[in-house]
Amino acid sequence: MDKAKSMMDKKGPAAPFHHVSNGQSQRAPSFHSHVVLNGGCNNTGTSNNACENSHVLHQQQHHHNNHHHDDAECNGGSPAKRCRLRRRTDSTVKRHRPPFPWFGMDIGGTLVKLVYFEPVDITAEEEQEEVENLKSIRRYLTGNVAYGKTGIRDVHLELRNLTMCGRTGNLHFIRFPTQAMHRFIQMGRDKNFSSLHTTLCATGGGAYKFENDFMTMADLELLKLDELDCLIQGLLFIDRIGFNGHPECYYFENPSDTQACVKKPCSLVDNPFPMLLVNIGSGVSILAVYSQDNYKRVTGTSLGGATFLGLCCLLTGCETFEEALEMASKGDSTNVDKLVKDIYGGDYERFGLQGSAVASSFGHMMSKEKRDSISKEDLARAMLVTITNNIGSIARMCAVNEKIERVVFVGNFLRINTVSTKLLAYAMDFWSRGQLTALFLEHEGYFGAVGALMELLKTSEEQP
């Protein structure tokens, strides 16, 4: 009931547009757009840039509401409307565009996710004006795929030639361990980042934890943003613009058949709500999302990505997620887990349990003989399967309790982790008898950072 109510509340009064270039109607449109991508729009000339300033006053609500009031629209609405929007907002663009560099940062428990917008439409004039350290940052980030020992740019995720806030450029996706945060801040100091007068938008717990360090070490003030707000905004945005002409979202066809199970692209765009959003980072948060800015956190679990990695490190001596996954891919969890058939000799028919179902994760490890002979690969695989199945199980129960059929899994735990994605797809399908669909997104763990970046583009406009 609360949900329905707050969804209605969303239609609050819209503030009038600050600048209307051609005297057209001042009536607020039913959706607002300040970020328009070149994907579906005919972007010739300069008039294709729509970066408008609008914000909706919200009423306080029971549920969490995003502080975002703007839709990032690609080609929604009628062509005429799009046209109108473009023209109307054209003149505001230059005046309120935030200064470069454009970053969005998500500081999690294990990883820092950074998105960087690299403008490619820099004019000669601009190039001349560009200060040296800004240039240096741009070149450093775009010229490398690895930074220091642990920073990595996920080149394959780069979004090319997109337009944000009137500028065309590429969106880069960079990650590094949260442990290296202080080195990162030092770098910011060394590059005299504070002189650029940019706002550093940060989300995730680290935005709070490191706020003081940013200030004292690098004289940088963070704009702290709620991580779940950012996650949803970023996710909806990326899904809408697509992945360089391909859909961002995918699912698995025939999830119960390992041979015929294939990844299939799809899109959330048309009707993404309601969705159950399962974010698997260090821990897991599960959100029920009813609209772009109406959602609630249903529950969470502490058995997440860092649990997998942490226990794998302790059990196998591995050091990285990649190593752990590599081992897991070679292992066999049935040497570690006790299956139903290990206990009952076959299916447990009285309760309709298949013999191949896991009865007790790590159950075989109660026996000393088996502990002594088990391989690291098997342990890693069992750990992965245990954590994944558990998340699947909780997500499924939440979906049933919340009466939501679409379950979207995101978070860096799923990075290069087809074992888990396929297992989740299978678990959702099998236990719900086909009622639930598991959906995945290509930019797994970066949505919070994208959401933070979007906030930068918005907030700057609010201070003309």
Q: What residue ranges bind other proteins (CB under 8 A)?
A: 64, 108-110, 177, 179, 204-206, 208-211, 226, 228, 282-283, 297, 299, 301-307, 309-311, 313-315, 336-338, 343, 345, 350-353, 357-366, 368, 371, 379, 386, 389-390, 393-394, 397-398, 400-401
State how far the alpha carbon of 159 is from the alpha carbons of 120, 249, 323, 343, in Å. Answer: 12, 15, 27, 51
Least CB distance from residue 239 to other proteins, whole Å? 24
In the block, which residue shows the tokens 């989300």?
A: 203
Of 52, 227, 248, 444, the catalytic one is 227
Considering beta carbons, is residue 286 or 439 the nearer one to other proteins?
Answer: 286
Considering beta carbons, is residue 37 or 398 the nearer one to other proteins?
Answer: 398
In the block, which residue shows the tokens 């609008």?
A: 54
Considering beta carbons, is residue 56 or 343 the nearer one to other proteins?
Answer: 343
Least CB distance from residue 85 to other proteins, whole Å? 33
Least CB distance from residue 377 to other proteins, whole Å? 14
Give Cα 107 distance to the centre of its chain.
Answer: 12
Q: What is the DSSP string of 233-250?
A: HHHHHHHHH-BTTB-SEE
Least CB distance from residue 41 to other proteins, whole Å? 36
DSSP H or E segment with residue 189: helix 181-190
In the block, which residue shows the tokens 């763990």?
A: 445
Least CB distance from residue 329 to other proteins, whole Å? 19
**How far apart are the C-alpha atoms of 184 and 166, rounded to whole Å?**
29
The question of whether 125 is a catalytic residue gets the answer: no
Considering beta carbons, is residue 37 or 111 the nearer one to other proteins?
Answer: 111
3-state secondary structure of 56: strand
Q: What is the DSSP string of 68-87?
A: ---EE-SS-S-HHHHHHHHH
Length of the chain: 464
**Minimal CA–CA distance to 224: which of 206, 248, 242, 239?**
206
In the block, which residue shows the tokens 């806030």?
A: 165
Cα torsion angle, 80, 83, 89, 91, sign: negative
Considering beta carbons, is residue 11 or 350 the nearer one to other proteins?
Answer: 350
Least CB distance from residue 282 to other proteins, whole Å? 4
> Phi and psi of 145, rounded to 5°?
-115, -10
Considering beta carbons, is residue 107 or 171 the nearer one to other proteins?
Answer: 107
Q: Give catalytic residue positions.
A: 227
